[in-house]
Amino acid sequence: MVALTAEKQDHNLLSRMAAGDGHGENSAYFDGWKAYEENPFHPIDRPDGVIQMGLAENQLCGDLMRKWVLEHPEASICTAEGVNQFSDIAIFQDYHGLPEFRQAVAKFMEKTRNNKVKFDPDRIVMSGGATGAHETVAFCLANPGDGFLVPTPYYPGFDRDLRWRTGVNLVPVTCHSSNGFKITVEALDAAYENARVPVKGLLITNPSNPLGTTLDRDCLKSLVKFTNDKGIHLIADEIYAATTFGESEFISVAEVIEEIPDCNRDLIHIVYSLSKDMGLPGLRIGIIYSYNNRVVQIARKMSSFGLVSSQTQHLIAKMLSDKDFVDEFIRKSKLRLAERHAELTTGLDGLGIGWLKAGAGLFIWMDLRNLLKTATFDSEMELWRVIVHKVKLNVSPGGSCHCHEPGWFRVCFANMDHQTMETALERIRVFTSQIEEESLKLTKQMAKKKKCWQSSLRLSFKDTRRFEEGFFSPHSPVPPSPLVRAQI
Q: Which of 87, 88, 127 is nearest to 105 (CA)?
A: 127
Q: What values do phi and psi take at 340, rounded to 5?
A: -70, -40
Euclidean distance between CA atoms 442 and 128, whole angstroms: 54
Euclidean distance between CA atoms 346 and 7, whole angstroms: 51
Task: Return all residues near 239 (Cβ < 8 A) that are at least 6 apart.
Answer: 130, 205, 271, 272, 273, 275, 276, 277
Considering the candidates 200, 276, 373, 392, report the single residue annotated as catalytic: 276
Euclidean distance between CA atoms 201 and 178, whole angstroms: 26
Q: Which of 355, 421, 417 is nearest to 393 (CA)?
A: 421
Determine the distance from the C-alpha atom of residue 99 to the mean position of all C-alpha atoms in its chain, rounded to a whole number: 31
Q: In Å, how far are 167, 171, 209, 274 from 412, measured between CA atoms?
A: 30, 26, 11, 18
Considering the candidates 159, 161, 237, 277, report the single residue annotated as catalytic: 237
Considering the candidates 124, 239, 251, 288, report the single residue annotated as catalytic: 239
Q: Which of 184, 199, 197 is nearest to 152 (CA)?
A: 184
Q: Is 155 a catalytic residue?
A: yes
114 and 331 Cβ atoms separated by less than 8 Å: no
Q: Is 276 a catalytic residue?
A: yes
Considering the candidates 155, 192, 272, 291, report the single residue annotated as catalytic: 155
Q: Which of 73, 351, 345, 357 is nearest to 214 (CA)?
A: 357
Q: Is 239 a catalytic residue?
A: yes
AA letter at 270: I
Rg (C-alpha) for the chain, rounded Å, is: 25
What are residue 367's DSSP bridge partners? Answer: 354, 408
410 and 54 Cβ atoms separated by less than 8 Å: yes
Q: Is 116 a catalytic residue?
A: no
Q: Where are the alpha helices (DSSP H) in 99-216?
A: 99-111, 129-141, 158-161, 185-194
Provide the annotated active-site residues: 155, 237, 239, 276
